[in-house]
Chains A and B, each alone.
Chain A
Amino acid sequence: DAGITQSPRHKVTETGTPVTLRCHQTENHRYMYWYRQDPGHGLRLIHYSYGVKDTDKGEVSDGYSVSRSKTEDFLLTLESATSSQTSVYFCAISESSGNTEAFFGQGTRLTVV
């Protein structure tokens, strides 16, 4: 299995609080992605990174920010959590763009109450 670790795996937080999810990889892959998975919507891209300090927005980036100061870590921050951000969050990595496989973490289940 690809070395991807998401933390925490489960979190319950209150509306209005900031939350940071961490994705850590040991594969030295250039690309890292954050997706959210919701019933009926599949996986929707939040933000992605194509190198250290190189990030871009995905389809559903409002209310989220990311940082990548090291190759191995990609942080997703919910600046002020809302109930609509209750979801399962997946991190993925890939070695290069285009035709290479993405490897996924086990997911983080976030509940905002």
Chain B
Amino acid sequence: AQSVTQLGSHVSVSEGALVLLRCNYSSSVPPYLFWYVQYPNQGLQLLLKYTSAATLVKGINGFEAEFKKSETSFHLTKPSAHMSDAAEYFCAVSRDSSASKIIFGSGTRLSIRP
């Protein structure tokens, strides 16, 4: 069975500070991992995805994530937070199977302090 755990339901950082959102996964087979962002009153949109091509994945809006198999982690980072980054972020896991499903974590709300 696959699952993801997001540590911290709410993270608050100052504008210009490092953003670190944590995600740990559980999967019996090599996983595909994703980060999605949700702005208020909207659906989710993809930030980035890991598909085994490279362990460091760059996404949109300056975000990146590193896949660490030894730690079963896929943490999301951004060197310098911007006010527009305030949103809810979801980590998700899937696998390569004809009946595959996408499982999401519980989400982390990111707040940016001026």
- Cα-based distance from A106 to B90 in the complex (angstroms): 16
Q: How many residues of A contact B (CB 8 A)?
A: 27
- Cα-based distance from A41 to B45 in the complex (angstroms): 18
Q: How many residues of B contact A (CB 8 A)?
A: 28
Q: How far is the CB of A93 from chain B (nearest CB, A)?
A: 11
Q: Is B44 an interface residue (CB 8 A)?
A: yes
Q: How far is the CB of B43 from chain A (nearest CB, A)?
A: 3
Q: Please list the residues of chain B having a beta carbon within 8 angstroms of any beta carbon in chain A.
A: 6, 9, 32, 34, 36, 42-46, 49, 51, 90, 92, 94-107
What are 29 A-B contacts defined by CB distance under 8 Å? A33-B102, A40-B9, A42-B6, A42-B90, A42-B104, A42-B105, A42-B107, A43-B90, A43-B104, A50-B99, A54-B99, A58-B101, A92-B44, A94-B102, A97-B96, A98-B32, A98-B94, A99-B94, A99-B96, A101-B34, A101-B49, A102-B34, A102-B44, A102-B46, A102-B92, A104-B43, A106-B42, A106-B43, A107-B42
